[in-house]
Structure 1
């Protein structure tokens, strides 16, 4: 196989990398990547090998951002448990994060609701039966970090640049297989 600039550009685009990202990962200048892709330079074999190594590594890596659900269904601390049950039923979910503004303050799980069935659920607010908050991972983290977290927690929140942007549950991880 002959590796051309067009081929390198095609691989880079398939992996969702910019020239700048590929340059950083392969320790080659962005300008040199651009020249290689346009066929303006004849790169050394070692340069091509570095680029192809990065591309092959990128092909195998799946990040948390790739499997997260971006539309997070959440509630506020003053949401009634009765309303939370309705949201969970209509959305087909068994756990829900509780946010006060942009801050996660806890979670509500089906098991928590079941343990509180003896109370008057239409009068109780989420803040009175909160479970621990879900752990937070970065969107760039590899999915390999998830199984141990999901063994303990029913869901993991995903942050990008310090803000919660997604959620991953056990079923999301199972869909990868």
Structure 2
């Protein structure tokens, strides 16, 4: 999965000489929290709702709040926009884009193409990453959700999959995570066409249940099993 598959293509942008008050109005009209700043068709900065709100005066400034608010609202976006940008290309893997956001503690990445240019083609945000996370875990799909710890060895996962298929089920999603021990692996499966009891019977003694429940749509319909059940 690449950034191009999850980024927003239809962008709302702002010019550097636009007033802060107009930029904030644009954000609220479109229910967005960031605006790329474009000049001569090139990306030169980005401004966030937080940037705009911080630019408004606080009550302890020496001039009146009303006067300061009017002055701040009339400032151009250029004066408060973030110019030291971290960008990503459309062919970047989504997980690398997510790692870049986490490393830089930012909530969005402008997408430029080619990567070394400032030609804006999209933007990918933390909300897009959350959407991908939901899809990867099959959160909205019905079935049995099994959170397990298994041996971290060749064939362990294949063996479990074969037992599920032989019972008439099918694995619709799978995600793996490190366990406390390097010899173990934590996995989350979403399995269709078997029920919770059948799934439990399919597990071997070395496959530890962390959580096991049946899901209908995006809501749980049974209580989770205790750790080690």
Q: Compute the TM-score of the two structures, normalised by the length of structure 1.
A: 0.60
Name the structure, 1 or 2, with higher relative contact order (CA <8 Å, separation 6+).
Answer: 1
Q: Choose from 121, 124, 149 the match for 1:165.
A: 121
CA distance in 2 between counterparts of 1:168 and 1:134 reads 14
Give 2:83's aligned residue.
Answer: 132
CA deviations 1:58-85 (Å, max 9, x no partner) are xxxx001000110111101000101001
Q: Which has the higher strand share?
A: 2
Give 1:117's aligned residue.
Answer: 56
Q: Are the structure 2 counterparts of residues 104 and 133 from structure 1 closer, same or farther at C-alpha, using a change threshold of 3 Å?
A: farther
Matches within 5 A, 1:140-155: 140-151=91-102, 152-155=105-108
1:91 is displaced (CA, Å) by: 0.9
1:164 is displaced (CA, Å) by: 1.8
CA distance in 1 between counterparts of 2:85 and 2:132 reads 21
CA deviations 1:101-131 (Å, max 9, x no partner) are 2222211112211221114233111011122
Give 1:175's aligned residue.
Answer: 131
Larger Rg: 2
Q: Compute the TM-score of the two structures, normalised by the length of structure 2.
A: 0.47
Q: Which runs of 5+ in 1 are unaligned?
A: 1-61
| SS of aligned partner of 1:121 | helix
What stretches of structure 1 move > 4 A for 4+ residues in a row?
Answer: none
Matches within 5 A, 1:42-53: none
Determine if the alignment matches structure 1 residue 74 to structure 2 residue 13: yes
Determine if the alignment matches structure 1 residue 98 to structure 2 residue 37: yes
1:133 is displaced (CA, Å) by: 4.7
Taking only aligned residues, the RMSD between alpha carbons, in angstroms, comes to: 1.6
Q: Are the structure 2 counterparts of residues 103 and 88 from structure 1 closer, same or farther at C-alpha, using a change threshold of 3 Å?
A: same
| SS of aligned partner of 1:114 | helix
